[in-house]
Chains A and B, each alone.
Chain A
Amino acid sequence: MSATINYQAFRAAVLQTGSRYTIRRPEDLGDTLIPLHERLATTFPVVYSADLDRLFPSTMPGCIDMTGSNQFLHLRPSVKEARFLPVLSIRCNFAQDPVECRLRIALFTVVENVSEGVPFAAIGFRIELAESDGIGWHNYSHLQLIDKFGNHQLPGIRQVPTTQPAFPLDADLASPAGLMLCLLLSLYGPAGVLPVEKRLQGNPAAPKLRATAPLRQASATSGTRSRTTRRPRGRR
């Protein structure tokens, strides 16, 4: 698969993530999360979905480094962990062989009634493609813990192992676009990732997730059923 095709699929996944999952109306976050979002936006300046294509242009650029350009994607909380605000940073270089693609995600929350320490806590992960084709510790797509995000130590974390364990990712997802879908799947579940996956259809580098297969099948079946079983108008 050429780097350009891979980049286009990845770019489409990033832009879709921006338009579907970034925080558009901070006021909808609720009383606890609004001040947290403001604090996070102060530390990790927001890139808005409408401006993402300036970072990810249609023509394949060299290295893209969101942390380096001090711009971050502030994502909506997941339904089941609504106390946490996810912030995403991407670094990629499709001109490199093998392609470099690193997603760093940190989930921040407010700690109530703190007697000592800071009133925030976070946990962070990096999701990366294989870093080499040869012998090496990380020659497979993997997910690891991180203790820093942007240029800052994550709050509430003193000691985490940041090299191992490096959990291997599903082989289906071992592509740049696959990493993005993997991240969305982990935050928003199969139903959440499906619309983004659908938007990538037609791109040869678009991954197909096993997790969304039952939903795709169900939607295809219900589409067929509704076409074949629709009653003629006016007959009840």
Chain B
Amino acid sequence: MAKKKILVCDDQLEASEEWTARLKAIPLVAKSFEVKSCEPGTLQAQVESLADRRKQVRSEGCWSGDHHFDDLDILVVDYDLQDEDPRSGREIAYLARCFSRCGLIVTLNESGRNPFDLTLVSGLESFADLNIGSEQLSNRGLWQESWKGFRPWAWPLIPAALKAFNKRAKAVQADLDKKVLDYFHFTADVLPHIPRAVLQFLAAGKKKPEDVTFRDFVADSPSCLQAKDRHAEWPDDVLARIAAARLGHWLERSVLPGQNILVDAPHLAARFASLLEKQPPRAATLNTTATLDIASKSGLRYRQLRLHQFVSQDWISRACWYWPKVADDKSVAEVADPWSAASVDQVFCEDVSRFLPAGAAREFVAEVDSSFSRRFVANPNAKEVRKFAEELRAVAYNPIVRLSL
């Protein structure tokens, strides 16, 4: 099978070659991907030709010709490219998403070389599918299921995310005129629980969010295309790719972080420990839920929850359930008798994607419209974290004001 293509772009060749080399050192990446650095001096021309496509779309309604980015599976682009192109990585991500057929887009260093986002929601406006630091690009936990130490839970697994992106782009192309919220089964028992701050992303033209189709979203929503690009006649496959990227990003960066519309396995286990496959809820048992391998169905009683599972699994990087439905299901012990439920003494740490004793964690307040805004990161001074304390100390937790004193 042909290897997937990754192109790493920076204005400084030395840096892009170093990132490329680090990626190649990961066996799984070396086996499945062909990783290249952008040739010196060529990036500006590549970006310029995307901008030409945009002009063509605005004047003629569509683009023609080939572009190097069309064949890329993953485009990695640094945020600051001043030596090569005046545009930021964010602008290039927009051009690449809308005016090429490239797969995933990863921007580097928009918030520093090794950041952790304590808001849990930043970057929704970005057309990149993932914003990370250059130090993090070669973190093995970004590429394969097993990890140790720092590995933010919000990250997807890149190979799985690429596959899922292509699948959902294809699926949505056949359903462009379907209503977005219906497609995701946000039905009458879930919809009232979606805060307006989350729904507003979908607003398109004069339509209510409930009535917005995938086509409306791309053509009319201010959360999607820039105003002058909205009136073009977009080819359906490009439209579907844009919708697949933007709405996937919305689910990951706006719907899921509050854990009160959709809830993922570790956050659900922390609330309803009776749903764990194995009892009692010790760290090892709880940690079996912190997996991005959806097919493994490990840790939780998937069968009991099957009616509440989020239907569009290619749209989000982990198994999720509709929280209002789970919270209303009397077959769950904690729902039937909320007052007798024992509380779990472990907390889920978002920066290391694992449970730790409450004493080994630091609280922070995520920027989410949710009662579950109190979250945790590992405390590098705790003995349970000793093995990767130095790694955590090198991370910039931002904005620091969100960490509890």
Contact = CB atoms under 8 A, between A and B. Distances in A.
Interface of A: 23, 25-27, 34-35, 37-39, 41-43, 45-48, 50-51, 54-55, 69-71, 74, 118-120, 152, 155
Contacts of A50: 195-197, 369
A38 B324 contact: no
Interface of B: 189, 192-193, 195-197, 260, 271, 324, 327-328, 334-335, 338-340, 343, 365, 369, 371-374, 404
B271 A42 contact: yes
A51 B195 contact: yes
A70 B340 contact: no
Contacts of A45: 193, 260, 324, 327
A23 B404 CA distance: 18
Nearest to A155: B339
Contact of B196 (A27, A51, A74, A119): A51
A205 B192 CA distance: 29
30 contacts: A23-B371, A26-B371, A27-B365, A27-B373, A27-B404, A34-B374, A38-B372, A39-B338, A41-B371, A41-B372, A42-B327, A42-B334, A43-B327, A43-B335, A43-B338, A45-B193, A45-B327, A46-B371, A50-B369, A51-B192, A51-B196, A54-B192, A54-B196, A70-B189, A70-B193, A70-B328, A71-B192, A118-B339, A118-B340, A120-B339
A35 B343 contact: yes
A35 B324 CA distance: 19
Nearest to A153: B339
Contacts of A152: 338-339
| Chain B interface main SS type | loop
Contacts of A26: 365, 371, 373-374
A160 B371 CA distance: 30
A33 to B, nearest CB: 11
A55 B191 CA distance: 12
Given A27-B365, A69-B192, A118-B339, 17 more contacts: A26-B374, A27-B374, A35-B343, A39-B338, A39-B343, A41-B371, A42-B334, A43-B338, A45-B193, A45-B324, A45-B327, A46-B371, A47-B192, A48-B196, A51-B195, A54-B192, A70-B189
Contacts of B327: 42-43, 45, 70
A37 B373 contact: no
A34 B347 CA distance: 14
Contacts of B271: 42
Given A38-B371, A45-B193, A51-B195, A70 B338 contact: no
Nearest to B338: A43
A48 B374 CA distance: 17
Contacts of B340: 118
A43 B326 CA distance: 10
B258 to A, nearest CB: 10
A27 B402 CA distance: 10
A69 B188 CA distance: 9
B369 A48 contact: yes
A214 B264 CA distance: 53
Contacts of A27: 365, 373-374, 404
Nearest to A120: B339
Contacts of A41: 260, 371-372
Contacts of A48: 195-196, 369
Contacts of A37: 371
B331 to A, nearest CB: 14
Contacts of A54: 192, 196
Contacts of B343: 35, 39
Nearest to A50: B196
A51 B192 CA distance: 9
For the complex of A and B, 8 pairs with smallest distance between CB atoms: A41-B371, A155-B339, A118-B339, A43-B338, A27-B365, A46-B371, A120-B339, A51-B196
Contact of A74 (B328, B338, B371): B371
A171 to B, nearest CB: 36
A43 B371 CA distance: 12
A48 to B, nearest CB: 5
Nearest to B373: A26
Contacts of A51: 192, 195-196
Interface core residue of B271, B338, B371, B404 (most chain A CB under 10 Å): B371
A120 B339 CA distance: 7
Contacts of A119: 339
A23 B374 CA distance: 14
Contacts of B328: 70
A90 to B, nearest CB: 14
A129 B93 CA distance: 59
B365 to A, nearest CB: 5
Contacts of A71: 192-193
Nearest to A54: B192
Contacts of B197: 50
A69 B189 CA distance: 8
A38 B363 CA distance: 14
A74 to B, nearest CB: 7
Contacts of B189: 70
Contacts of B339: 118-120, 152, 155
Contacts of A39: 338, 343
Nearest to A71: B192
A15 to B, nearest CB: 13
Interface core residue of B189, B343, B374, B404 (most chain A CB under 10 Å): B374
